[in-house]
Amino acid sequence: MESLAYKCPNCSADLKFNAKTQTFTCEYCSSSFTEAEMKQIAASQEQYAAQRPEEEIQTDQEFAEHTSVYSCDSCGASIMADDTTAATFCYYCHNPVILKGRVSGDFRPSYVLPFQIDRAAAVEHFRSWCKKRWFLPRNFLSEAQQEKITGLYVPFWVTDVDVNGEMDALGKKIRSWTSGSYRYTETREYALTRKAKIVLRGLPADGASHIDDELMEAVEPFDYRQVKPFAMQYLSGFFAEKYDMDMAAMFPRIQKRAVQASDTLLRGTMKNYTTVSVTRSDIKVMNTTWQYMLLPVWFMSYKYNGKIYEFALNGQSAKFVGNPPLNKPRVAWVSALIGLAAAAIAAGVGAFI
Ligand SMILES: [Zn+2]
Ligand SMILES: [Zn+2]
């Protein structure tokens, strides 16, 4: 008899049957499901698979045939580019990269937010930012450095999550009034029970461990209304970091946000009571649909005194972020000048007295 292995509905890894708990459990993302739950989920997944249009399968093939992956031995970055765009150096550490071959269709993004800012405009933004900063090292935006500015699509996971939520609580309505010389207090208690199927759409998290999370959060927001279904032409002339955080690695972050959001939603249905105390909150993520999206960033890194400084310009809104290296002798020199000026002013003031 053929046995069909169940796939984890949250991260797609193979599930194992746990005889002790009689559940199917995932070693990778720690989800677990009863047989009845698995059947229910499998039915909804089949429906989704049946809906997958023919052109999506074609885009998968086209992507696999025309996308190369380059890897950097120094810092571990994996860079994807289409056939018309060859990568020669690593956008992150500037060392040479090696062509590793093609990528599989699994790495084909579902959506892309196309670049709105072109290279010339990006360089101009960097330049005007530099003008306002006196303490940058002298060759900070040299011609050679400008060439290293890279149009980089950052991989993001955007998920739709199905949640089953159950919540029990004790609600109290308390009212008081005075009649004659008596004060009355009436407390009514209500046993509250909520059962809900919740669908959360568009929970995001970035999938590149390489790129500083804080830098990526700082360069947000992106306007997702301009997102397009992925097509090869958007990649042309740009690079994309290949994600290295897979679904199992990302799931705990998504799960935490989904549970928090569902808990808040359920509590929100228990209004109109003086007090509510939750006695049981059982919230479980039943199914996660992953969409892999590329977001546009003009990226520049700068090596100074053995340290890498990262700069990012939002490729949609031109928002700029990064911490510049300080040229210490220049800082000291300018401080000395300010000191001299202050002394001169003091001397001037002295002369008037
Ligand atoms: Zn899993
Ligand atoms: Zn590198």
Distance 78 CA to ligand 2 centre (A): 8
pLDDT band at residue 131 using 50, 70 and 90 as cut-offs: confident
pLDDT digits (tens, 9 = 90+) for 217-256: 788 888 888 999 999 899 999 999 988 888 888 899 889 9
Q: How far is the CA of 11 from the centre of ligand 1 (A)?
A: 4
Percent of the chain with pLDDT over 70: 89
Q: Alpha-carbon distance 209 to 222, whole Å?
A: 20
What residues does 278 pair with on adjacent strands? 169
Residue in 195, 202, 175, 197 with CA at minimum distance from that of residue 186: 175
Domain ranges of the chain: 1-51, 52-333
- How do residues 259-291 score in pLDDT, each as one tens digit? 999 999 999 999 999 999 999 999 999 999 988
**Which pLDDT score, from 0 to 100, does residue 2 have?**
40
User: Residue 310: helix, strand or coil by DSSP?
Assistant: strand
Distance from residue 13's CA to the centre of ligand 1 (Å): 5
The residue with tokens 């929100």 is 268
Ligand of minimum distance to the alpha carbon of 6: 1
> Residues with beta carbon < 5 A to ion ligand 2?
72, 74-75, 77, 90, 92-93
Q: How many angstroms separate the alpha carbon of residue 118 from the centre of ligand 2? A: 24
DSSP, collapsed to helix, strand or coil, labels residue 172 as strand
Rounded Cα–Cα distance for residues 322 and 310 (Å):
6
- What's the pLDDT at 212? 79
What value does the mean pLDDT take over residues 35-41? 86
pLDDT of residue 111: 92
Tell me how crowded residue 21 is: count the other CB atoms within 10 A of its CB.
10
pLDDT of residue 224: 83
The rounded mean pLDDT for the chain is 86
d(CA 210, ligand 2 centre) in Å = 10
How much is the pLDDT for 278?
96
Q: How many whole angstroms from 77 Cα to the centroid of ligand 2?
A: 5
Residue type, 254: I
pLDDT digits (tens, 9 = 90+) for 286-326: 999 988 899 999 999 888 888 888 899 999 999 999 877 76
* DSSP H or E run through 250: helix 247-268
Identify which ligand lies nearest to the alpha carbon of 78. 2
pLDDT, tens digit, 9 for 90 and up, residues 147-161: 899 999 999 888 899
Q: Which ligand is nearest to the CA of 87?
A: 2
Question: Quick one: which ligand is closest to 14's CA?
Answer: 1
Cβ-based neighbours of 191, under 8 Å, separated by 6 or more: 168, 170, 171
Q: CB under 8 Å to 25, separation ≥6 — which residues?
A: 15, 16, 17, 18, 31, 32, 33
* pTM score of the predicted model: 0.68
Cα distance between residue 167 and residue 261, in whole Å: 14
182-206: average pLDDT: 92
> What beta strand segments (E) does the chain contain?
16-18, 23-25, 32-33, 67-71, 78-82, 98-102, 111-112, 150-179, 182-206, 228-229, 239-241, 275-304, 307-314, 320-322
